[in-house]
Chain A
Amino acid sequence: MTGLILKAEGLDRSFGGIHAVKDVSLEVPQGALHAIIGPNGSGKTTLFNLITGHTKPGKGRVEFDGHDITGMPFAKVARRGLAKSYQITTVFPLLTVFENVRIAAQAASHANVFWRPADSIKAVTRRTDEVLEKIGLTADRDAIASNLSHGDQRRLDLAIALATEPRLLLLDEPTAGMSPSETASTVELVRELNREVTILMIEHKMDVILSIASAITVLHQGEKLFEGAPDEVKSHPKVQEVYLTGSL
């Protein structure tokens, strides 16, 4: 059997009177493309935040690559090889596209020193060019990030996450707000990235999920409703009831 890269056990968290995530467990094997779906407010983003350490869990524990990372600060989790792309695009707005990605690539190279120019570190600039090429932003390398179109900024967000050379990539609605053609190319990109890195993603668009995911977890009101392969999820009566009705 292939090892588990991520294992969450009994994650639980309330905010005041709202029980956002109720006793959710999750297992993501190496190389998977695992999707989390569920209606608005079902606790998907909170679950992500519990995994990354943005939110401390009330109960439960998270293991990343065999190590306990429960409640560990995000930067530390990131250094262990977990990267995240954001639901609300988060890039370095006034830096160039190249510098955005270079900063992330530099993090992976552990060259955080102050006695030599950053641009002289060949391995980092090479990695940056590679990622830009893969994501398809090479033509925009000298553009200021905030001048990019919404779709390109979403892709830059993804490129930053990718450049840190993660072993697990968390994608929070990578196609949010994208046009149908942008969505299609992003789906293709995610599928391609999955060849190198394990992906755990939140997605709203059902057609996106069903075509690429290897496993799907359905959340409903903070609870795990069902988990299985895309076909099973699609045909499961309870899932259809709460989620798919009207959306497919």
Chain B
Amino acid sequence: MTDLSPAGAKDAPVTDAAAAVTLARATGSAPARWTWGQIGLLVVLAVVVLFTVPNPSLAIGMLIFGLWAAGLNLLVGYGGLVSFGHALPFAYGGYAAGLVLKNVTTSAWVALFVATVSMALLSALIGAVCLRRTEVYFSMLTLAFAQLGFFIALQWNDVTGGDDGLAGVPVSTLELGFTTLELNGLRDPLTFFLVTAVIVLLTFAALILFTESPMGRVLQAIRESEERARGCGYNTRLVQLVTFIIAGAVAGLAGGLFAMLNNFVGLQPYWLLSGVVLIMVILGGRSSLFGPFLGAVLYLMLESTLSRYTDSWQFFVGAIFVICVLLFPQGLWGLLTTTVPHLLRRTRGAR
């Protein structure tokens, strides 16, 4: 599935991601008033992916990457905090799940629980430091931590497998009380897909609840004016830290699922991976949680299609990204919910 091999992947998205910081802050419109309906949209998207994407592990990857990107969008779109290090909790969540499955138990529950909780804790520590700064300085700190994490993973051979990656992660089992499912992405991709879809949907619903909760609303107010939010009496740093922890936990969960899918945790450059998930968010649109899912599906589709024809597929993905950003800075979701209805109204008005 998504082939982010270090060899050919060193150039393109880094500069794109740099442009993304400025872009990510200029949201340009109020969040669209689609909230709970997004769950329905995600069900539809999952069904479409299930029936149209021929490669099952690509289809499952779309759900996993979508969830990862949606979590990141809490920070980027809702909080105005552009993280350049979101690969870290994803990759380390993968290691956490992989190590549990290899050494402790093959229970998927335990592995995913450990991946999620450990990344929440790690994010609490990292967030407490990074959130001492704002704007681009915050972004640089998150990048620095991701780099630190990358080199630890690279050097710590005994635990992570270093450059070779953590191989031999066993197939996990999911106890459901009445039955026990084997989560084998190769032999039984449909079961894996459905289980992933359920986990992703539940997490997605929880994320929507967060954005609609008093705290989630304050997060958006802080994005608009931190000074004013403080003037209302809010502890703005705490709200941002809670968000950072939630985004990290979701990335850990996604990383754990991804490790279970591949039975392997590879070492990929985190600056690239962080850039990719940021591109998914921006491509899909920052004003909703569903947008990043669209972005993930689109990105992975482009990648798998283009890489069949050319080795320099990243060049084309980069070019498409630049064009999309110039033409629809609000992303695919913004295009569908704002621009298209606006054009329709105009043409109707003209008639």
Contacts and interface: CB of A to CB of B under 8 A. Distances in A.
Interface of A: 73-76, 78-79, 83-84, 86, 90-96, 99, 102-104, 106-108, 111-119, 121, 144, 160-161, 164
B212 interface: yes
A112 B215 contact: yes
Contact of A106 (B27, B217, B225, B242): B217
Given A112-B215, A113-B213, A118-B216, A107 B225 contact: no
A114 B233 contact: no
A90 B228 contact: yes
Contact of B214 (A118, A144, A164): A118
B213 A116 contact: yes
B232 A114 contact: no
A84 B212 contact: no
Contact of B228 (A73, A94, A108, A160): A160
Given A91-B225, A95-B224, A116-B209, 16 more contacts: A92-B229, A95-B221, A102-B217, A103-B217, A103-B221, A104-B232, A107-B233, A107-B234, A108-B233, A111-B214, A112-B215, A113-B213, A114-B209, A114-B213, A119-B212, A160-B228
19 contacts: A73-B230, A78-B231, A83-B232, A84-B231, A90-B225, A90-B227, A92-B224, A92-B225, A95-B30, A103-B229, A106-B217, A106-B218, A111-B214, A113-B213, A113-B214, A114-B242, A160-B231, A161-B231, A164-B233
A135 to B, nearest CB: 16
Nearest to A119: B212
B15 interface: no
A144 B28 CA distance: 12
Contact of A99 (B217, B229, B239): B217
Contacts of B214: 106, 111-114, 116, 118, 121
B29 interface: yes
B212 A117 contact: yes
Contact of B232 (A78, A86, A111): A78
A94 to B, nearest CB: 5
* A contact face: mostly helix, strand, loop, or mixed: mixed
A103 B232 contact: yes
Contacts of B235: 75
B236 interface: yes
Given A106-B218, A117-B212, A94 B236 contact: no
B210 interface: yes
Contacts of B242: 114
Nearest to A113: B214
Nearest to B208: A117
B218 A112 contact: yes
Nearest to B220: A95
Nearest to B214: A118
Contacts of B228: 86, 90-92, 160
Nearest to B228: A90
Contacts of B215: 112-114
Given A112-B215, A118-B212, A118-B216, A92 B221 contact: yes
A144 to B, nearest CB: 5
Contact of A118 (B213, B225, B230): B213
Interface of B: 27, 29-30, 209-210, 212-218, 220-221, 224-225, 227-236, 239, 242
A122 to B, nearest CB: 13
B152 to A, nearest CB: 32
Contacts of B209: 114-117
A221 B233 CA distance: 32
Contacts of A116: 209, 213-214
Contacts of A144: 30
Most buried by A among B228, B229, B233, B236: B233
A54 B224 CA distance: 19
Nearest to B216: A114
B146 to A, nearest CB: 26
A106 B233 CA distance: 10
A94 B217 CA distance: 13
B20 to A, nearest CB: 19
Contacts of B221: 92, 95, 99, 103
B74 to A, nearest CB: 11
A115 B225 contact: no
A94 B26 CA distance: 11
A121 B210 CA distance: 15
Nearest to A90: B228
A103 B218 contact: yes
Contacts of A76: 233
A75 B236 contact: yes
A117 B220 contact: no
A92 B220 CA distance: 9
A115 B233 contact: no
Most buried by B among A94, A96, A119: A94
Q: Which of A73, A90, A107 has the most CB of B within 10 A?
A: A107
A73 to B, nearest CB: 8
Contacts of A94: 27, 29-30, 224
